[in-house]
Amino acid sequence: MNLIIDQGNTTIKLAVFNAFALETLITYDTWNEPVIEDFLSGYDIEACIYSSVARKCDEHVDFFRNRIPMFHLFSSDSRLPIRIGYRTPNTLGLDRIAGVVGAYYEKPGVPILVIDAGTAITYDLLLADGLFVGGNIASGIQMRFKALHTFTGRLPLVSFEGDIPFLGDDTFAAIRAGVIRGACYEVEGYIRDLTHKYPGLLIFLTGGDAFLFAERLKTPIFVDKNIVIKGLNRILYYNVEK
């Protein structure tokens, strides 16, 4: 069995795969070594890949490296099943690469746009021949709510809960509608323009806010909240001897 660790900005995900079938996925808000140790004791893990967008993870890496026979730390030097056309590959987010790889194996041979709606919203384009050409990064929903509150004198901190009218008739509704509808218009704009440039483009939507967007978008999309995890599992096979 394979263990996939995806260390994000706010959570850490642990997934267990039996070959390419996802067996278990658990998310932790904070690092808890005894709890994770107990989780690992229930599986016969042969190989592991660790991916992190966090700045400091040495302690976590050592924890897994010392417990799993075949361990791979995902980096810009890792072998990949796709080609990277990004001008600065060493600065390219590992989660962005993994998401594109996951989508590539789901629908090979077609152009793909992966939209990851999490702390940030990323837009990443993979061409039909397997070339990752790049993408864009924008603020996520929660970040937009917090920015309006933090960088103004009187605007309140607003949450997802509540009405989302076309035009708000009070300040809370105005902020909620402005942020969520604005982000949806942004996503639809990328989809429209890239579909025009790349006919047959398939859209994969993932991330913590994926379903919030999915229920509001008019374009046909594939929603897969595990596409990054699936991509990491595929990358693992490229980098360890099984």
Could you give the residue numbers annotated as active site? 95
11 annotated as a binding-site residue? yes
116 annotated as a binding-site residue? yes
Residue 48 token pair? 């592991």
10 annotated as a binding-site residue? yes
119 annotated as a binding-site residue? yes
77 annotated as a binding-site residue? no
13 annotated as a binding-site residue? yes
94 annotated as a binding-site residue? yes
40 annotated as a binding-site residue? no
Do 130 and 107 touch, CB atoms closer than 8 A? no
Give the separation between CA 225 and CA 214, rounded to whole angstroms: 11
150 annotated as a binding-site residue? no
For residue 90, which phi and psi values (nearest 5 degrees)?
Answer: -70, -15
- Write out the binding residues for K(+): 116
- Write out the binding residues: 6-13, 86, 93-96, 116, 119, 171
- Write out the binding residues for ATP: 6-13, 119
